[in-house]
Amino acid sequence: MRRTLHLLALGVAIGGCAHEAARSTESTAATAAGPAPSGPAADGSAPLDPEVAALPAARAVWLADPELGPTYVVAAGAPAATGAPPLLLVHGLGTNGMRDFYPVLPALAAHRRVILVDLPGFGRSGRANVKYAPDRYAAALARVIASVAAGPVDVVGHSMGGAIVLFHAAAHPEQVHRLVIVDAAGILHRDAWFAHHLRRVTDPARAVLPRVADILGEAADLVTETSRLLGPAPDLVLELAPLRQKILGGKPERIAALGLILQDFGPLIARVRAPTLVVWGADDMVAPLRTGLMLADRLPDAELVVLPGVGHQVMAQAPALLVPQIERHLAGAGPAAPTAPAVAAAASQGKAVCRGQSDLQLSGVYDSVVIEDCARVTLDHVRTGSLVIRRSTASIIRSSFSAGIVADASTLIITGGDIGGEVAVDAKDSKIDLAGVAIGAGREPFRTAGQCQLLLSVCPVRTPDGVAYRHGFVTAPAAATAAH
């Protein structure tokens, strides 16, 4: 068990490892910061980096957060003549802290007041062996906003910061005017996240990030095999200071990563009311685009923009693409490009059938879909009654099934969209990974036979008994008869 928990600690630090490995060694060495000084200067100010000091009305302070310790906060840029609210920038894992936003800071501060924060445990804020978790970070952000802004603010969050600002927007809607989520990490269930990396990231990453790829492979194997056996152990590690010290070394980045992957964001996402722009790098190998697709479906008022050829470090890699999207959204403008016509208005193409094919792609409206002995089928924005899939593999993206899915000896990865029917998912000897899928069942959401594995990430499930959010592996009742 000691070795298992130690390896788990390595796994939960992966987000930070991958994040930092994307930067150059010189940059990390130059920007790594020690603990915050014991207090501010006599006039209440704190030191400024040259990149910030050159901006209009730049000022830095340390705020004494009562729960998480000294917090370094910077404000720069003149208030907007239009009366636009200030813009708060929240970083992700990594020693750089707020410096991740420096490539886009001058452009954003040219038209409004911008506030940056080093989250406690990172950058120049205080570090300690405390519980760094999304709920506590969201509360700390609320205190920062109350201290430095007179009213609601616009908010941008990147990576772990994207997950934190989602939590904050749900918990403190009165403080958030508009929201931008950039490549948010930690929203998928941890088993789905590791499985994604095992499927798609390990091999490509090994060519450029061999150390990260090796850790990913080891951690993916570990979590896949042991996460359900560990039971409450990761939660106890997060809660108890002696365990945080022994297992995680008391390191804030590991504690924050563990807190992130243990958080269920399902109920929170449904409570976000701020208009939200979801921006994703198409080539992100840390936070999969699948998360962005899921958020675009489950957030009440959201638009997704995918930046081609861009990885996780969007601010550094594509500032000229990111800033106009942020400015457009904060100005209240509509989508940058026309959206595709709704498939609900299209005429049905009849019954779709795939037999013995590979790499088939379907989209649009169908009466029903049947897939047998096919590999790597993609259903993208499909609207149909039922899906029957046998001895096949399929990826299903933002699609709708009004009469349910029957799966036999198949593997399905389903992202966004919705599934209805008396029994929404009827599976035999199948593996099904659902992320952000709205389930609506007249009788029961899932029924299984044989060896099945059902994994859900932030899925709302509606039954005659009400609505619940499911996040993790589920056990479904066995089918009385083999109807497959």
CATH code, domain with 122: 3.40.50.1820
Q: Looking at the structure, do residues 64 and 95 belong to the same domain, yes or no?
A: yes
Provide the pLDDT for residue 151: 84
Query: What's the distance, CA 299 to chain centroid?
Result: 12
Last residue of a domain, one of 309, 330, 351: 330
| Comparison of pLDDT for 42 and 243, the residue scoring more | 243
Query: Poorest-confidence range of 241-250, 348-357, 418-427?
Result: 241-250
With respect to residue 243, please indicate whether it lies within any of the assigned structural domains. Answer: no
Q: Looking at the structure, do residues 395 and 307 belong to the same domain, yes or no?
A: no
Q: Looking at the structure, do residues 268 and 349 belong to the same domain, yes or no?
A: no
What is the C-alpha to C-alpha distance for residues 84 and 448, in angstroms, rounded to an integer?
53
Q: Looking at the structure, do residues 364 and 284 belong to the same domain, yes or no?
A: no
Q: Looking at the structure, do residues 463 and 319 belong to the same domain, yes or no?
A: no
With respect to residue 247, please indicate whether it lies within any of the assigned structural domains. Answer: no
Provide the pLDDT for residue 198: 65
Nearest partner of 445 among 471, 430, 427, 472, judged by Cα? 427
What's the pLDDT tens digit per position in 109-122?
998 999 999 999 99
Provide the pLDDT for residue 204: 52
pLDDT for 39 beyond 90: no
What is the C-alpha to C-alpha distance for residues 202 and 215, in angstroms, rounded to an integer?
9
With respect to residue 482, please indicate whether it lies within any of the assigned structural domains. Answer: no
Provide the pLDDT for residue 336: 61
What is the C-alpha to C-alpha distance for residues 413 and 396, in angstroms, rounded to an integer?
6
With respect to residue 208, please indicate whether it lies within any of the assigned structural domains. Answer: no
Q: Do residues 458 and 184 touch, judged by C-beta distance below 8 A?
A: no
Domain count within the chain = 2
With respect to residue 257, please indicate whether it lies within any of the assigned structural domains. Answer: no
Provide the pLDDT for residue 78: 83
pLDDT for 374 beyond 60: yes
Q: Looking at the structure, do residues 169 and 287 belong to the same domain, yes or no?
A: yes
pLDDT for 230 beyond 50: no
Q: Looking at the structure, do residues 278 and 364 belong to the same domain, yes or no?
A: no
Provide the pLDDT for residue 275: 97
Query: Poorest-confidence range of 26-40, 257-271, 297-311, 419-433?
Result: 26-40
pLDDT for 343 beyond 70: no
With respect to residue 363, please indicate whether it lies within any of the assigned structural domains. Answer: yes
pLDDT for 306 beyond 80: yes
Q: Looking at the structure, do residues 169 and 298 belong to the same domain, yes or no?
A: yes
Q: Looking at the structure, do residues 306 and 418 belong to the same domain, yes or no?
A: no
With respect to residue 139, please indicate whether it lies within any of the assigned structural domains. Answer: yes
What is the C-alpha to C-alpha distance for residues 294 and 300, in angstroms, rounded to an integer?
12
pTM to 2 decimals? 0.85
Mean pLDDT, the chain, integer? 84
What's the pLDDT tens digit per position in 447-475?
999 999 999 999 999 999 999 999 999 88
Nearest partner of 15 among 139, 127, 158, 125, judged by Cα? 158
| 16 sits in which H/E element | helix 14-21
What's the pLDDT tens digit per position in 414-432?
999 999 999 999 999 999 9
Q: Looking at the structure, do residues 114 and 9 belong to the same domain, yes or no?
A: yes
What is the C-alpha to C-alpha distance for residues 360 and 280, in angstroms, rounded to an integer?
25
| Comparison of pLDDT for 2 and 380, the residue scoring more | 380
Provide the pLDDT for residue 479: 60
pLDDT for 94 beyond 90: no
The residues pairing with 423 across neighbouring beta strands, listed in sequence order, are 444
Query: In the chain, what percentage of residues exceed pLDDT 90?
Result: 70
51's tokens: 């990149």
pLDDT (mean) for 338-355: 75
Task: Report the SS3 class of residue 206.
Answer: helix
Provide the pLDDT for residue 345: 61
pLDDT for 227 beyond 50: no
**pLDDT band of 1, cuts 50, 70, 90:** very low
Provide the pLDDT for residue 263: 92
Contacts of 466 (CB under 8 A, 6+ apart): none
Provide the pLDDT for residue 80: 72
pLDDT (mean) for 77-90: 87
Last residue of a domain, one of 330, 352, 381: 330
With respect to residue 256, please indicate whether it lies within any of the assigned structural domains. Answer: no
- Where in the sequence is the domain holding 363, given as residue range(s)? 343-474
Provide the pLDDT for residue 59: 95
* 434-455 CB burial, b ≥16 within 10 A, e <16: bbbbbbbbeebbbbbbeebebb
Amino acid at 52: V
Q: Looking at the structure, do residues 415 and 308 belong to the same domain, yes or no?
A: no
Q: Looking at the structure, do residues 271 and 324 belong to the same domain, yes or no?
A: yes
Distances (CA, A) of 86 to 30, 114, 180, 454: 29, 6, 14, 43
* 30-42 CB burial, b ≥16 within 10 A, e <16: ebebeebeeebee
For 36-152, strand residue ranges (E) read 59-65, 69-76, 87-90, 114-118
Provide the CATH number for the domain around residue 438: 2.160.20
